[in-house]
């Protein structure tokens, strides 16, 4: 009998108020039921908010270094439970174990970074323009933070948001993707075991349209941090704009790798295989376009197809698997539709191009790693995010042309250039419109202590990771202390001799 999992609300593991659950199944084998998880709704969110407000009143007064100590302990617990959590993650969302271990490691790195930030959380002290006056800025917590996350990094992305939110003194209501509720549950277990006061974290499982929507529209939740598709982000933006909420959006990508004629082709080949087919192409930073200089185009394409055909599809828990399943049937069908669209646009499917069925793959959502060649700028396969194991290949003549193609999409998350020419490398760093540019490395590989995020329709100007995310989760208060004993008027009584 599969277990009925619970929400964590009001300091206790509780059933959803309506008593409704949904099934979470293994995408590599849908006969494997991970568990039933709450289909929460607005009433559950309301309860969570009431509790979180109590948690906030207490937590905001806890000194930041002490908040950091709790997060350090969370890092220790994640380290201890790394293998167990990685296995649970692969089981519920499919990516191979090496990647789910990396996903947990990113959570660990983020925990230790947050812990050290507890002793930093800098404000500024600057000279006043008046005598005998002190001028500074300090950071304050904001309130209850609504955290809404996608399926593809079930540990890393929630920790990118939850740890800085907590470190800054906020309480959190966490809604993980309905496809990965188990990993979200394990994360909350670690937070509680580490000594976080229970009202400071609330976990509400369920569908975006129900519980996610209720979080975004709740008047007592002043800040929302969301990672997901650009379409969903746009809906959130409308509500948060109307309600004057602080909103951080991290959304879709259509990332390109550019390979110049002088590049180390073996290096670029390893890079594009990892970039395009890691996480079965379901990464916001996935390499979904490969721009090849005409001098090396045909040779590189042959090398690529040879390697892609050797990639082994299967259950991510098996050591023989290179590429796991897709997250669910709609994602699989969407990928298949895009390949048909590419065919219809006149591109050539040079390998893959169909679902993988039969044998050990019979009960999973598998799509063969696919390379589409002869793609032209402006085709839908070149412009739109597929979020599957499909790589579109284009040919270019000059770096300027490649950068133009790179930039001519609505997204701007990650980018990559392979070259030995330092001039080309710095030209690309300057001219590519993206939040991240890699030189001689694939489009994926973010490190927890650097800012992460995109431009154009990938984001709305905020960054996760590193030091910058702490700006999002804290409010600045400016403080003036006048010890002159008389009225001093700014801009008027200044610069007296």
481 bridge partner residues:
134
Contact 165, 222 (CB under 8 A): no
- What is the secondary structure of 332-396 as a DSSP string? HHHHHHHHHHHHHTT-EEEE--SB--SGGGTTS--B--EEEES--TT-HHHHS---SSEEEEEEE
- Residue from 92, 117, 250, 457 carrying the catalytic annotation: 250
Tokens coding 425: 């490398």
Give the nearest distance from C-beta 470 to ligand NAD in angstroms: 17
- Residue from 168, 240, 284, 351 carrying the catalytic annotation: 284
Give the nearest distance from C-beta 410 to ligand NAD in angstroms: 12
The span from the CA of 351 to the CA of 497, in Å, is 79
Contact 304, 371 (CB under 8 A): yes
Tokens coding 24: 């979470």
Nearer to ligand NAD, 224 or 403 (CB): 224
Helix, strand, coil percent content, the chain, rounded in steps of 5? 40, 20, 40
Nearer to ligand NAD, 179 or 300 (CB): 179
Give the nearest distance from C-beta 435 to ligand NAD in angstroms: 8
Nearer to ligand NAD, 177 or 488 (CB): 177
Q: What are phi and psi of 290, to 5 degrees?
A: -120, 115
Q: What are phi and psi of 50, to 5 degrees?
A: -60, -45
Give the nearest distance from C-beta 259 to ligand NAD in angstroms: 23
Select the residue whose beta carbon is closest to ligand NAD and give its number.
208
Alpha helices in 278-317 (DSSP H): 297-310
Is 238 an active-site residue? Answer: no
Tokens coding 365: 């959502």
Contact 369, 311 (CB under 8 A): yes
Tokens coding 70: 């709790």
Is 284 an active-site residue? Answer: yes
Give the nearest distance from C-beta 229 to ligand NAD in angstroms: 4
Give the nearest distance from C-beta 456 to ligand NAD in angstroms: 12
Q: How far apart are the first and last CA of the chain?
A: 83
Nearer to ligand NAD, 46 or 76 (CB): 46
Tokens coding 472: 């999002």
Which residues of the shown chain bind ligand NAD in the complex (CB under 6 A)?
148-153, 175, 177-178, 207-209, 212-213, 216, 227-229, 232, 235-236, 250-253, 284, 385, 387, 413, 454, 458
Which residue numbers are catalytic? 250, 284
């Amino acid at each position: 009998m599969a277990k009925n999992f619970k929400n964590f609300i009001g300091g206790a593991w509780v059933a959803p108020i309506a008593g409704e659950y949904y099934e979470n199944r293994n995408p590599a084998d849908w006969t494997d039921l991970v568990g039933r998880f709450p289909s929460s709704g607005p009433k559950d969110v309301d309860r969570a908010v009431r509790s979180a407000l109590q948690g906030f009143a207490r937590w905001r007064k806890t000194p930041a270094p002490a908040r950091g100590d709790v997060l350090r302990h969370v890092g220790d617990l994640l380290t201890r439970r790394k293998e167990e959590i990685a296995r649970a993650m692969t089981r519920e969302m499919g990516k191979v174990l090496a990647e789910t271990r990396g996903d947990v490691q990113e959570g660990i790195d983020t925990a230790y970074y947050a812990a050290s930030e507890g002793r930093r959380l800098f404000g500024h002290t600057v000279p006043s323009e008046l005598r005998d006056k002190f001028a500074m800025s300090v950071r304050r917590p904001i309130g209850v933070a609504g955290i809404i996350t996608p399926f593809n990094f079930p540990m890393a992305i929630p920790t990118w948001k939850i740890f800085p939110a907590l470190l800054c003194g906020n309480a959190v209501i966490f809604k993980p993707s309905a496809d990965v509720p188990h990993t979200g549950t394990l994360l909350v277990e670690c937070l509680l075991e580490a000594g976080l006061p229970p009202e400071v974290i609330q976990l509400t499982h369920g569908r975006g349209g129900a519980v996610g929507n209720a979080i975004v529209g709740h008047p007592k939740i002043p800040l929302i941090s969301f990672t997901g598709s650009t379409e969903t982000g746009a809906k959130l933006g409308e509500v948060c704009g109307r309600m004057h909420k602080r909103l951080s959006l991290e959304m879709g990508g259509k990332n390109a790798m550019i390979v110049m004629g002088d590049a180390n082709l073996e290096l670029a080949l390893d890079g594009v295989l990892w970039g395009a087919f890691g996480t079965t192409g379901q990464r916001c930073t996935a390499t979904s376009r490969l721009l090849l200089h005409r001098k090396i185009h045909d040779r590189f394409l042959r090398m690529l197809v040879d390697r892609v055909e050797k990639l082994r599809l299967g259950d991510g828990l098996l050591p023989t698997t290179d590429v796991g399943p897709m997250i669910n049937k709609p994602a699989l069908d969407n990928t298949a539709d895009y390949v048909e669209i590419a065919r219809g646009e006149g591109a050539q499917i040079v390998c893959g191009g169909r679902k993988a069925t039969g044998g050990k793959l019979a009960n999973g959502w598998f799509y063969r790693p696919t390379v589409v060649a002869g793609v032209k700028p402006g085709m839908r396969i070149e412009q739109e995010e597929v979020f599957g194991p499909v790589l579109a290949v284009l040919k270019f003549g000059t770096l300027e042309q490649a950068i133009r193609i790179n930039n001519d999409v609505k997204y701007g998350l990650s980018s990559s250039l392979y070259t030995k020419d330092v001039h080309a490398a710095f030209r690309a760093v300057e001219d590519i419109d993206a939040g991240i540019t890699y030189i001689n490395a694939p489009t994926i590989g973010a490190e927890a202590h650097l800012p992460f995020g995109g431009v154009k329709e990938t984001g709305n100007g905020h960054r996760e990771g590193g030091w910058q995310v702490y700006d999002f989760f804290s409010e600045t208060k400016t403080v003036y202390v006048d010890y002159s004993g008389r009225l001093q008027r700014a801009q008027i009584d200044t610069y007296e001799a």
